[in-house]
């Protein structure tokens, strides 16, 4: 497994944004996921506010995440979106760079690419 080079993504994506929100310190983001996310961020030209990256099993359960959540293995990121146009741009670029698991929430988008989960799927929260 290739290690994430956080310096490559600075300053637009920083490791503290992806640490599990429960305080356990888990940071297990995958290289291929971060490369795709970085590409989507660059071509979008819109800052990404990361609301969820890595999740430990306990935190995932506490937030109601799926038992096979992309977040558990470092293959999932939620990006806050509060405007229709922003959602459209980011969503299009998630697809453009190859994310194959997309969740659409009222105020966020999920980008996922866990190879252990079904691909070419989109869901609503």
Per-residue pLDDT of the chain (125 residues; tens, 9 = 90+): 799 999 999 999 999 999 999 999 999 999 999 999 999 999 999 999 999 999 999 999 999 999 999 999 999 999 999 999 999 999 999 999 999 999 999 999 999 999 999 999 999 99
Domain ranges of the chain: 6-106
Topology of domain 6-106, CATH: Muramoyl-pentapeptide Carboxypeptidase; domain 2 (3.30.1380)
Q: Which residues contact 118 (CB under 8 A, 6 or more apart)?
A: 101
Which DSSP letter does residue 70 get?
Answer: G
Q: Which residue(s) pair with 69 in the sheet?
A: none
Q: Look over the chain and give the mean of its residue pLDDT values, rounded to a whole number.
A: 97
CA atoms within 13 A on the CB side of 81: 23
Global pTM exceeds 0.75: yes
Q: Looking up tokens 């310096």, which residue turns up?
A: 7
């Amino acid at each position: 497994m290739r290690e994430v080079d956080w310096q490559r993504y600075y300053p637009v994506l920083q490791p503290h944004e992806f640490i599990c929100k429960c305080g356990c310190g888990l940071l297990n983001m995958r290289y291929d996921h971060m490369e795709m996310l970085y590409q989507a961020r660059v071509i979008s030209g819109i800052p990404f506010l990361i609301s969820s990256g890595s999740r430990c099993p306990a935190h995932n359960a506490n937030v109601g995440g799926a038992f096979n959540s992309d977040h558990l293995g470092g293959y999932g990121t939620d990006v806050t979106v509060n405007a229709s146009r922003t959602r459209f741009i980011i969503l299009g670029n998630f697809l453009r760079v190859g994310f194959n698991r997309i969740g659409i929430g009222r105020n966020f988008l999920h980008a996922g690419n866990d190879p252990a989960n079904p691909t070419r799927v989109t869901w609503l929260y």
